[in-house]
A and B are shown apart, each in its own frame.
Chain A
Amino acid sequence: MSRATMNIAAARVASPRLSHLSWLLLVLALAVGFGLPGVVASVLVLTLLTQAVIGGMLAVGVGFLIRQNGVVSFGHAAWYGVSAYCLGLLLRHDVLSAELALVLALAVPTLTAFLLGLVIVRVPGVAFSMLTLAVGQAFHEFAMKAQGVTNGDDGFAIPLPDTLFGLPISTVQQPETMFVLCWSLLALVIFGLYVTVRSPFGRLTEAIRENEERARFIGYRTVLPRAATYAISAFVAALAGLLFALYNGFVSPEVLHWSLSGSALIMAVIGGSRLLWGPALGAVIFFFLKDLAGNMTEHWPAMIGATVIVVTVLMPAGIAGTLAELFERLRKAGGRA
């Protein structure tokens, strides 16, 4: 089996003892999140970290789809952007309470993705990737052209409420608090995906990913589980888009552009999608590299393009995956010694 397919190979059966470890990891992750602003003094770094976490969440959504369905989406910014626009439009037209607007901003892209998923998960392999690129751009085109609705290329500012679920709105506007919120949600999302992956549903989608035909011949409908997986990955992207909209206070067609989808995919590739948190690591690396590069060179696209090529060819498991493999090997060697 090729190394590239190993990148999308399933995890082995985890022993029950690991679920205690995973709870511990979740608590630890949340603690780190709460503690970090105290340690990191620089507002600039916190801002960058917040962006990285939001980008990381989008990347985690893309990575989850690769891992569970074995397909690569070049258009996940669609769900990110639709969520942002939904929130923006609902708040701008003041039709519902802010809290309800939030819920709808998550529900609309997720449901739309599920319905679209019912159609597009039937398309195999690379054709699927091409299709997601086209669909993603369709949303972008719509946002650009439907001036009356979206204000076209200029975008519009989102009128944020004073409080949100009882919290003051400054929570989402200041990097210290917004970072904690985003980081915590990311940790919870990854944990939630972990639980999903280990559930019978998760096992089934992995089996379907490995052999869709045989899954049908042993009695399973394969379209529904795959569409549901696509919807879950869209939900994660939508949540990221929602956080972005709250933090940024502004929405424009950029949130739907294929370059955003591409960046999220790059983060997932660099980090590796076999591990659910791999894309998040990829995002952190991506953002810090970008920040570093921004000061030194204008050739960021070439740098990241080269990185994608190097990682795809030399480290198909991604950085997180490679680290995990290393760790496994050390553990086995330690066990034998």
Chain B
Amino acid sequence: MTANVFLIQILNGLVYGGLLFIVSVGLVLIFGLRRVVNFAHGSLFMIGAYVGFSISLVAGFWAGLAGAAVVLAVAGALLDVSVFRPLRRQDPIATVLVTFGLLLILEDLANTVWGKETHSLPLPEILAGSVDILGQPFPAYRLLVIAVAAAVGIGLALWLRFSRVGLFVRASSVDPVTTAVQGVNTDRVSALVVAVGTALAGLSGTIAAPLLALSPSMGGSILIESFIVVVVGGLGSFSGALIAALAIGQIHNLGIIYVPWAATMVPFLLMVAVLVWRPTGFAGSHV
């Protein structure tokens, strides 16, 4: 395995890591604000992929991408208003159970509307080919994925750093109680932030669709992987989620090539190892 091919594999790892990052960051946003773990997040990813697929059939890939994000944003706002807000004073496990119930409902919805057969989302024309990287052909679409992940990361960083809502999110991640009494309309901001979180899940679903197979069960595996990312990165930490997503993306990809049987176990072992060392996760609860 030459150095060039190895570097290509690193790039592939970045693709998966980037996808994981976009999904996981949505979870972190929701957790940071509402202090709950959205067990329906994987299903939202899946629904996003299907919605993007359906829209792209009539209006093209880019419309599908935008449409999925919008639809999922609306869904997120609804989720916040109907689930997170009413249950915010209860034990967080109540929200976990309700979102878990939602997971089942969404899976059924996907089955009903789109059927159990797998679909595939066709690539947009300009990205269907491959680009020459270090003498190796590399699918252009995958570069898009990396680009989108980077854009999300940078956009998010800027938003958190410079906007009022971003400041609120960062403050809330560290101290939700004090932040809540600062006179900001918590509920409206929460709905917005949760909408962004779910929109990201939907966006990553559509982006992932050409790479993975569209099926109602695609939500389950991404949910578990994003949980690992979020927990390893430190519940509530954005930078932790980034590092963890990239790391797990690499492990996932390199592992499958070099040590396939162990590859799937390593992220879990990493999760357990991190939690042994630090029961609050890798980075703790900073932003």
Contacts and interface: CB of A to CB of B under 8 A. Distances in A.
Touching in the complex, A and B, CB below 8 A?
Answer: yes
B101 A145 contact: no
Interface of A: 2-5, 8, 72, 119-120, 122-127, 129-131, 133-135, 137-138, 141-142, 145-146, 258-259, 262, 265, 269, 298-302, 304-309, 312-313, 316
B265 A141 contact: yes
Contacts of B272: 119-120, 131, 135
B108 A302 contact: yes
What 6 A-B pairs are tightest by C-beta distance, nearest first?
A305-B104, A302-B108, A308-B101, A138-B268, A4-B94, A309-B101
Nearest to B83: A309
Query: Which interface residue of B37, B94, B223, B235 has the most chain A CB atoms within 10 A?
Result: B94
Size class of B's contact patch?
35 or more
B98 A308 contact: yes
B90 interface: yes
A213 to B, nearest CB: 14
Contacts of B265: 138, 141-142
B231 A302 contact: no
A4 B104 contact: no
A301 B268 contact: no
Given A129-B37, A138-B268, 12 more contacts: A2-B90, A5-B90, A122-B279, A123-B279, A129-B96, A133-B227, A299-B112, A302-B104, A306-B101, A307-B101, A308-B98, A312-B97
A133 B221 CA distance: 11
A3 B36 CA distance: 17
Contact of A4 (B36, B90, B276): B90
B264 A145 contact: yes
B261 A145 contact: yes
B100 A308 contact: yes
A149 to B, nearest CB: 10
B158 interface: no
25 contacts: A119-B272, A126-B37, A129-B37, A130-B37, A131-B272, A133-B223, A133-B227, A134-B231, A134-B271, A135-B268, A135-B272, A142-B264, A145-B260, A146-B261, A262-B100, A262-B104, A269-B97, A301-B104, A302-B104, A305-B101, A305-B103, A308-B97, A308-B104, A309-B98, A312-B98
A312 B94 contact: yes
A299 B112 CA distance: 8
A126 B38 CA distance: 10
Contact of B94 (A119, A127, A265, A313): A313
Interface string B220-246: 100110011011000100000000000
A300 B105 CA distance: 9
A131 B109 contact: no
B269 to A, nearest CB: 8
A123 B227 CA distance: 14
Interface in B69-128: 87, 89-94, 96-98, 100-105, 107-109, 111-112
Contacts of A137: 224, 268
Contacts of A309: 97-98, 101-102
B33 to A, nearest CB: 15
B67 interface: no
A269 B281 CA distance: 28
B55 interface: no
A120 B275 contact: yes
Contacts of B267: 134
B231 A130 contact: yes
Contacts of B231: 127, 130-131, 134
A271 B212 CA distance: 38
Contact of B224 (A125, A258, A269): A258
Contact of B105 (A5, A146, A306, A312): A306
Contacts of B93: 4, 8, 72, 125-126, 129
A306 B109 CA distance: 12
Contacts of A146: 261
B94 A316 contact: yes
Contact of A126 (B92, B107, B112): B92
B276 A119 contact: yes
A90 B91 CA distance: 43
A302 B37 contact: no
A129 B36 CA distance: 12
Contact of A304 (B92, B104, B112, B281): B104
Given A258-B224, A305-B102, A141 B264 contact: yes
A57 B141 CA distance: 49
B108 A2 contact: no
Contacts of B97: 72, 269, 308-309, 312
Nearest to B270: A134
Nearest to A121: B279
Contacts of A131: 231, 271-272, 275
B205 to A, nearest CB: 19
A94 to B, nearest CB: 26
B108 A305 contact: yes
B46 to A, nearest CB: 13
Contacts of B37: 126, 129-130
Given A119-B272, A119-B276, A125 B92 contact: yes
Most buried by B among A2, A301, A306: A301
